[in-house]
Structure 1
Amino acid sequence: MSKPLPVLETDRLILRPPQAEDFEPWAAFVADAEVQRFIGGAQERAVAWRMLRLMAGAWAMDGFGMFSVLEKASGCWIGRLGPWCPADWPGTEVGWALVRDAWGKGYAIESATAAIDWAFDNLGWTEVVHTIAPENVNSQAVAKRLGSTILRDGWLPAPINSATVVWGQSREQWMGRRRSA
């Protein structure tokens, strides 16, 4: 018997595994060149469909994947965020990407905090990383606010095939920071 899929709630957000109803906002999200600038560039609807099903499949096969992020007040889908570790990835990642309308509201910090807590509590990870393009200063700021630092240089495998900077922290660092907060 499989475990029920998690639904996480923060003060302003709901994080849940992707569902078929997320397709239209997901397609708009991956078509937005500015949002996708550091994560592979704008994509067509057909690619968005595959990406959504890829994430749902990760939940089915691995018991984790990125969450769909919903704004509680509006019920709107505002992005995808959470644990991710495909083959040949440079670490156990909690990554994030939100629609432009959600930028600057603290949603990335709020939802990443919940996702990192969940990953450490449920996946047995000893480290969480964030793969961030060297020029992506906004995501670097989020990583810093989460308490992460640059750990090493990395490489994102195909189909991305690009260098990345691996930010992150150990489980002990995260837990110590959370206890002192």
Structure 2
Amino acid sequence: MSDTTPRIETERLVLRVPRIEDFERYAELLADEEACRFIGGHMPRPAAWRRFLQMPGAWAVQGFAMFSVIEKSSGLWLGQLGPWQPDGWPGTEVGWALHRDAWGKGYAYEGAAAAIDWAFAHLGWTEVIHCIDADNAASQALARRLGSRVLRQSGMPAPYEHVVVDVWGQSREDWQVRRSTRA
């Protein structure tokens, strides 16, 4: 990726396009059964490699995808989050998946809020959604904290057509009102 690719900095995080050096921690994330319970399940390293290539490929082809989340103080890869809309997806999503050692520290909220700001400002989206399993209490809590609510239920595209998710979300206008009242 060129140096003109997006880079977002928050108080504690850098959000940037994935790089090859992110893969080791990414493979650890995808090997963790609990961490992957709601994102398609854990997978062995060769499958993780193929999945890892999706995000840089989406950045190259469509100009957006999830960012790698890097902790500023350590340079440690914490996970991925950001805009995501593959073919057949239920809408314009900002999603997240963080390494287990990043849980419970507010990183997901900090990064997702910055990614939502970026998606509305740079992609022209009018709505942001989060596809969340009905049993995923942690992601539901994050969606609520972001100001989202359940909009509808939806099936997922193949190969996950058997999965039904709650589609949480909000409009750009609702997001902007919430952001301005917090500022």
| Shorter-chain TM-score range | over 0.9
Name whichever of 158-167 and 111-120 sits farther off: 158-167
Q: Which amino acid aligns with 1:171?
A: R
2:148 paired residue number: 148
Residue 117 of structure 2 corresponds to residue 117 of structure 1: yes
Matches of 1:12 and 1:167, distance apart in 2: 26
Counterpart-to-counterpart distance in 2, 1:118 and 1:134:
27
| Aligned counterparts of 2:120 and 2:146: Cα–Cα separation in 1 | 14
Describe the SS at the equivalent of 2:53: helix
Q: TM-score w.r.t. structure 2 length?
A: 0.96
User: Which contiguous aligned blocks of 4+ residues in structure 1 show a shift greater than 6 angstroms?
Assistant: none
C-alpha separation in 1, matches of 2:107 and 2:5: 22
Matches of 2:131 and 2:147 in 1, distance apart? 15
Give 1:83-162 correspondences, 5 Å limit. Answer: 83-161=83-161, 162=163
CA displacement, residues 14-60 of structure 1 (integer Å, 9 cap, x when unaligned): 10011111111111110100100111111111111111111100000
Q: Residue 55 of structure 2 corresponds to which residue in structure 1?
A: 55
Q: C-alpha separation between the residues in 2 aligned to 1:54 and 1:130?
A: 19
Q: What TM-score do you get using the length of structure 1 for normalisation? A: 0.97
Looking at structure 2, the residues matched to 72 and 33 of structure 1 have their Cα atoms a distance apart, in angstroms, of 27
CA drift at 1:3: 8.6
Measured in 2, the distance between the counterparts of 1:127 and 1:3 equals 29
Aligned partners of 1:57 and 1:119: how far apart in 2? 18
Residue in structure 2 matched with residue 32 of structure 1 by the alignment: 32
Measured in 1, the distance between the counterparts of 2:156 and 2:3 equals 30
Counterpart residue number, 1:21: 21
Residue 179 of structure 2 is matched in structure 1 by 178
Give the match for residue 163 of structure 1.
Answer: 164
1:109 shift after superposition: 0.4
Q: In the TM superposition, what is the alpha-carbon distance from 1:127 to its structure 2 partner?
A: 0.2
Number of aligned residue pairs: give it: 180
Partner SS for 2:168: strand
Residues in 1 aligned to 2:34 and 2:61: alpha-carbon distance in whole angstroms: 31
d(CA) in 1 for partners of 2:3, 2:20: 20
Cα distance in 1, alignment partners of residues 88 and 32 from structure 2: 27
Cα deviation code 1:75-111 (max 9, x no counterpart): 1101010000000100100000101111110001000
Which sections of structure 2, spanning at least 5 residues, go unmatched?
none
CA distance in 1, matches of 2:12, 2:143: 20
Secondary structure at 1:135 match in 2: coil
Q: Give me the identity figure in percent.
A: 60
| AA matched with 2:57 | G
**2:21, 2:160 → 1: CA distance?**
27
Q: Secondary structure at the match of 2:4?
A: coil
Unaligned runs of 5+ in 1: none
The one-character-per-residue Cα deviations of 1:125-177 (angstroms, maximum 9, x if unpaired) are: 00000000000000000000000000000111112221000000000000111
